[in-house]
Amino acid sequence: MNFDAAAYDAFYRRSIDDPHTFWAEQAQRIEWNKPFTRTLDYDHPPFTKWFVGGETSLCYNAVDRHLATRADQPALIAISTETDSEKVYTFAQLHAEVNRCAAMMQSLGVSQGDRVLIYMPMVAEAAFAMLACARIGAIHSVVFGGFASNSLATRIDDATPVLILSADAGSRGCHVMPYKSLLDEAIVLAEHKPTHVLMVNRGLAPMQTVAGRDIDYATLREKHMDAAVPVVWLESNAPSYILYTSGTTGKPKGVVRDVGGYAVALTTSMDLIFCGKAGETFFCTSDIGWVVGHSYIIYGPLLAGMATVLYEGLPIRPDASIWWSIVEKYKVTRMSSAPTAIRVLKKQPLELLKKHDLSSLKALYLAGEPLDQTTSEWISGVLNVPVIDNYWQTETGWPIISIAKGVGDKPTRSGSPGLPLYGYKTKIINEISGEECAANEKGVVIIEGPLPPGCLQTLYGDDQRFVSTYWRNFKREAYSTFDWGIRDADGYYFILGRTDDVINVAGHRLGTREIEESISSHGNVSEVAVVGVENPIKGQCAVAFVILKNAALAASPEEAKKLEAEIMKVVDKRLGSIGRPSHVYFVSALPKTRSGKLLRRSIQAICEGRDPGDLSVIEDPSALQQIRTALITA
């Protein structure tokens, strides 16, 4: 449905000016066992309660309520190019598996309010476990598969799970990653000891079992094949899950999400932002260990009555057409990924994409990092579909800024994720004065309270840290995103990078993205990461690590110096000499997580001779060695 600009803006204003009525209407999108008595409780800012007194269930709304109309339609499509396996579960079959898993958990002593830690690869059992927790009122905490033992141990101690679900191993690019040995070591390191560990044996790696603690998933499943576990209806503000923010140092920050607000926010977003319709197929290429995987692999599509693709593997194996073959085979209508993944695919032969019928695909959504114009225009052109940027965080659970095409067809703008979405009172303020910035004036992106439904309620076990971390940064009561941004005269937002990634060169603040965009405009630059490195004179200096489209152009030291000088001139022209990096190093890989996020802090740490931190999240560990080698040999 299309509205004019005035109607689009009025829709947003209504969500801000009258949130009680607006969200009470959106709440009718889901099923309530007991109606709520109060839409919004903001009596104790910044703590927000939505749909107070109402009782609902994420599992019921994602699975059970669809049985009457689409029991035999696909719900979960589990694909692994690592094990060459593929299985489609209908809503009826998914319902049966979730009931079995729920019964298994109950047989192991899990009850309402207990924590269940899920440390698993991208397999169907992980989805069953998350939904089973929601069914019985347990609180799941999914930890990114492959986290090192120390990191896993801190999360075990913080969440104190009764039960842990894991697998013998995951696989990435045919490289088997044992999980069980990492988990065993983590449990030894942790002060809290789970009563049981439920293991999925994929036959990928040998594993030792601990008698009395470790239980085989398949064996226990056989005992509960006919299980019918009643839904535990939860008050809207009961916690649904804990998700620890990635890159946390010291005590991890466990983001706590509610039940009712999250269900309403996701269901609404699937319609108004992602335009997904029941019976269609949604393909999100993220990992369940991240918030995108929670919201738009597991819960969001199922809440909307869509089939969701759970994919284990690389975008280039067995070849770079694999994603597009999935789109064709399952008639994917909406796809969500990250700009980095698209840049990887851009390097592959175009005929791999063009050999597939992609006529079912209606839009591609990209998030997780700033989307550059070149990448956006390329993929939009080859797919012949709109590419829609969206900006959000682990803490918010769903997009903060984008274009809600389900509200009205406002145009996108290159380099911008779009406009603040309904429910978010988003502003850009001066970090010192707390005053709102003028158009095109750089500041910190904040959200004035109350936060809309679906956002974090608090940090697990630490209300004070929630307040001091997010709400005590300025002279106003506002949630800080810790991102720099600019708003243009038409209200479009441009995200410039994390406030702690901003480079302060001789008193001048420069966002890493500003310099990266400049370097990327050079014709031979494929990818770039810019970090700020301590400098005794200037405070910081910018250092760039560049992947070339044609590495031969920097094959010798002389050629590398020549190319470095060319890049410096490009930055001078676009930003001025203040933005010029002190060095440009040429590498063939950059350290990233599996979901495609650049680990700038790890790069910065190596440049400054510090510990780069937990390396288990890195897709290609050799990338860090390339950084070290470049620094030594340049």
- In angstroms, the CA 581 to CA 597 distance is 22
Report which of 104, 138, 26 is spatially closest to residue 454, judged by C-alpha positions. 26
- In angstroms, the CA 369 to CA 191 distance is 36
Whole-number pLDDT of residue 47: 97
Whole-number pLDDT of residue 68: 98
The one-letter code for the residue type at 11 is F
Q: Which class would CATH give 7-313+390-483?
A: alpha beta
Task: Tell me the two tokens of residue 116.
Answer: 């269940």
- In angstroms, the CA 93 to CA 97 distance is 6
Highest mean pLDDT of the ranges 138-152, 207-221, 245-259: 207-221
Residue 264 contacts residue 51 (beta carbons within 8 Å):
yes
Whole-number pLDDT of residue 592: 87
- In angstroms, the CA 79 to CA 500 distance is 38
Report which of 336, 305, 454 is spatially closest to residue 402, judged by C-alpha positions. 336
Q: pLDDT per residue over 178-187, tens digit each? A: 999 999 999 9
Checking DSSP bridges between strand 401-402 and strand 363-366, what pairing results, if any?
A: unpaired
Check pLDDT > 60 for residue 1.
Answer: no
Residue 15 contacts residue 453 (beta carbons within 8 Å):
no
Other beta carbons within 10 Å of 192: 15
Checking DSSP bridges between strand 196-200 and strand 239-244, what pairing results, if any?
A: unpaired
Whole-number pLDDT of residue 199: 98
Which class for 88: exposed (0-12), middle (13-18), buried (19 or more C-beta within 10 A)?
middle
Residue 562 contacts residue 588 (beta carbons within 8 Å):
no
211-215 average pLDDT score: 97
Q: pLDDT per residue over 501-535, tens digit each? A: 667 675 555 777 778 888 998 999 999 999 989 88
Q: pLDDT per residue over 291-323, tens digit each? A: 999 999 999 999 999 999 999 999 999 999 999
- In angstroms, the CA 519 to CA 546 distance is 9
Task: State percent of the chain over pLDDT 70.
Answer: 96
Q: pLDDT per residue over 15-38, tens digit each? A: 999 999 999 999 999 999 999 999
Whole-number pLDDT of residue 504: 66
What residue segments make up the domains of the chain, in order of their start?
A: 7-313+390-483, 507-633
Check pLDDT > 90 for residue 398.
Answer: yes
CATH architecture for segment(s) 507-633: 2-Layer Sandwich (3.30)
Residue 168 contacts residue 207 (beta carbons within 8 Å):
yes
Residues contacting residue 129 through CB under 8 Å, at least 6 positions apart:
101, 105, 116, 118, 120, 140, 165
Residue 105 contacts residue 81 (beta carbons within 8 Å):
no
> pLDDT higher for 147 or 191?
191
pLDDT tier, 129 (very low <50, low <70, confident <90, very high otherwise)? very high
Whole-number pLDDT of residue 71: 98
CA 78 to chain CA centroid, Å, is 19
Mean pLDDT of the chain, nearest integer: 92
Q: pLDDT per residue over 558-585, tens digit each? A: 999 999 999 998 887 776 777 789 999 9
Tokens 């994602």 — which residue?
62
Residue 482 contacts residue 499 (beta carbons within 8 Å):
yes
Q: List the single range of 47-61, 256-270, 289-303, 521-535 with lowest mean pLDDT.
A: 521-535
DSSP state of 262: H
CA 552 to chain CA centroid, Å, is 35
DSSP-assigned beta bridge partners for residue 216: 199
Whole-number pLDDT of residue 598: 84
Whole-number pLDDT of residue 146: 65
The one-letter code for the residue type at 347 is K
CA 47 to chain CA centroid, Å, is 23
Residues contacting residue 509 through CB under 8 Å, at least 6 positions apart:
442, 484, 502, 503
